[in-house]
Amino acid sequence: MTERRELERRFDALKGANLKLDLTRGKPAAEQLDLADELDGYLGGDFRAEDGTDVRNYGGLRGLSEARDLGARLLEVAPEAVIAGGNASLTLMFFVLDAAMNTGLTGSRWRDAQPVKALCPVPGYDRHFVLAEALGMELVTVPMTDSGPDMDAVEELVATDNAVRCIWCVPKYSNPTGCIYSEDTVRRLAELPARHAPPQPGGQPFLVLWDNAYTVHDFDFPPPRLTPILPMAKAAGTADSIAMFASTSKITFAGGGVSFVGGGAGFLDAVEKRLSILMVGPDKLNQLRHARFLAGDRIEQHMRAHAEIVRPKFDAVERGLARGLGGTGLARWTRPRGGYFVSLDTPPGLATAVVALAAELGVALTPAGATFPYGRDPEDRNIRIAPTLATLDEVEAGIEVLTLCVKLAAARQADQR
Ligand SMILES: Cc1ncc(COP(=O)(O)O)c(C=O)c1O
């Protein structure tokens, strides 16, 4: 009881501190955005692309060739395997899934055979889950491991339930655990569409949704490498079932970058055909300035500069969590070497209470449950920490509050038993 009293005392004392801290969303800090300020006016009146295209005019559904080169470097595929799009990869994900569901992409549409299920590794990215749900899919959870989704569970579900049509993947610095999928996991995912039984005649049986949002968002150089999925998919005959996505949202300007979709030739043909209904062509001005700005080895230089800003914040999270919770047995957390998030697990039944306590002290955390389909964490234990937007001092203060709240919530729970 004395320990609880001490925690309550510290909690009450902090109430008077009038903190106002936000560790909720994975947005870049202004300092990171500053790194790309040169983009403004970068074309300097030179509107001709390499192939002579006047980028001020309509056309070019697959995107400019130099923008596709940029996408190819991010996705580690050949430029022919990429379409360069507009300002957000999430839009492309919606577009691809909507087409697969409602009109058919390379085959018949999914919605004719109800239910349609999407596999959601948890904890995962809330917007993926919301997107699939909005299109009328049922969300089925599978556990994440340190090397990616639990592939035994995934293969079992895909082989036995024909309603399962896709799986969400963030293969490098996964949102929110930060793990990098192992080579074995990548191979098994590449082969997954071939396991889907029985494939529908003429149907698009299955899509691996490969959202490589954090592909170059490393803290260490030379960076760890993700095994490329497309060569493995080609070997397995599944390339048209791999839908790859990336963007420069967290390289240059969030919401003002260039997005990419990649995959097998048949898949890309189908995406282009459908895109022609949506638009006359993408914003090639933005594509050209991005391609020029990030040409050559500029991406690595640029990401090193991001890392100088972001890495200290992640180090502060690690230090704060280790100091506040290390050895208590009250939490487990991830130590990513890139990306935007840290995932913290409390004992069962505490996450909602911890988030509410932190809010009382003026520290906004992502709502408990947000990393699970339908916003429901069945064990109520996962908390996503997003340290990029806050300053270093704010991150330190926020993590101190978080660790206090975990201990206080645990002490209150113990006293109720
Ligand atoms: C895994 C993942 N994919 C996609 C996005 C959004 O990307 P975009 O800005 O290209 O739509 C985010 C943003 O947080 C993300 O975490």
Q: Does residue 116 have its Cβ closer than 6 Å to ligand 1?
A: no
Q: How confident is the model at residue 129 (pLDDT cuts 50, 70, 90)?
A: very high
Angle at 106 between CA 101 and CA 110, to 5 degrees: 25
CB 121 within 8 A of CB 169: yes
User: In whole numbers, what is the pLDDT of the chain averaged over residues?
Assistant: 95
Question: What is the dihedral sign for C-alpha 152, 154, 157, 162?
Answer: negative
Q: Burial level of 29, CB count in 10 A (0-12/13-18/19+)?
A: middle
Q: What is the mean pLDDT of residues 69-92?
A: 98
Decide if pLDDT at 199 tops 80.
no
Q: What six digits make up the tokens of 388? A: 């990029």
Angle at CA of residue 120, ends 119 and 122, nearest 5°: 145
Tell me the CA–centroid distance for residue 245 and ligand 1, in Å.
9
The rounded Å distance from CA 91 to ligand 1 centre is: 10
- Give the CATH number of domain 43-295: 3.40.640.10
Pocket of ligand 1 contains residue 173 by CB under 6 Å: no
DSSP classification of residue 34: H
Q: In the chain, where does the domain assigned CATH 3.40.640.10 lie?
A: 43-295
pLDDT of 108 above 90:
no
Q: What is the CATH number of domain 2-26+300-416?
A: 3.90.1150.10
Angle at 320 between CA 319 and CA 326, to 5 degrees: 85
Residue range 266-303, pLDDT digits in tens:
999 999 999 999 999 999 999 999 999 999 889 999 99
CA of 91, closest atom in ligand 1: 11
Residue 417 reports pLDDT greater than 90: no
What does the DSSP 8-state code read for residue 164?
E
pLDDT of res. 201: 53
User: Is the model's pLDDT at 314 over the cut of 60?
Assistant: yes
Q: What pLDDT is stored for residue 107 in this prediction?
A: 77
Q: Which pLDDT score, from 0 to 100, does residue 25 have?
A: 82
Interval between CA 72 and ligand 1 midpoint (Å): 18
pTM score above 0.95: yes
- Residue span(s) of the chain under CATH 3.90.1150.10 come to 2-26+300-416
Residue 11 Cα to ligand 1 midpoint, Å, equals 35
Average pLDDT (120-140) is 98
Least confident of 74-78, 113-117, 178-182, 331-335: 113-117
